[in-house]
Amino acid sequence: MEEPTQQPVEATPAPAPMHERTGADRNTIYIGKKNAMAYVLATVTQFNTGAAEVKLKARGHAISRAVDTEEIVKNRFFPGLKIKQIILATEEVTSEDGRPSKVSSIEITIAK
């Protein structure tokens, strides 16, 4: 009886650490489950290190947190901040049980 041959499994690469990101991806902050002030700190840090613009990206329930982050940064830290662009979209994601579902997303680009 022949032994079954195993095919090598390719792992999907992990996202690059922040210090290795390049270009526009370096100035993108993905909003998740942390409190808004954590993302405010990340946004302020990006602007203080010389970024001319920062993108805030969020999906689903985190959309309101992205808006809160933008408003706090604009009203408390950088009063002259401008909203350059807002993109609203619907993304299709696959749930854990394999069913596709649609999730709203937002991308807010803010600039000094």
Domain-wise residue ranges, the chain: 25-111
- pLDDT given for residue 17 in this prediction: 59
Q: How far is CA 29 from CA 6, 43, 57, 60, 83, in A?
A: 39, 7, 6, 15, 15
pLDDT tens digit at each of 112 positions of the chain: 555 555 544 544 555 555 555 555 789 999 999 999 999 999 999 999 999 999 999 999 999 999 999 999 999 999 999 999 999 999 999 989 999 999 999 999 999 9
- pLDDT given for residue 67 in this prediction: 97
Residues across the chain: 112
Domain 25-111 CATH assignment equals 3.40.50.300: no
What pTM does this model have?
A: 0.77
Rounded Cα distance between 82 and 33, Å, is: 25
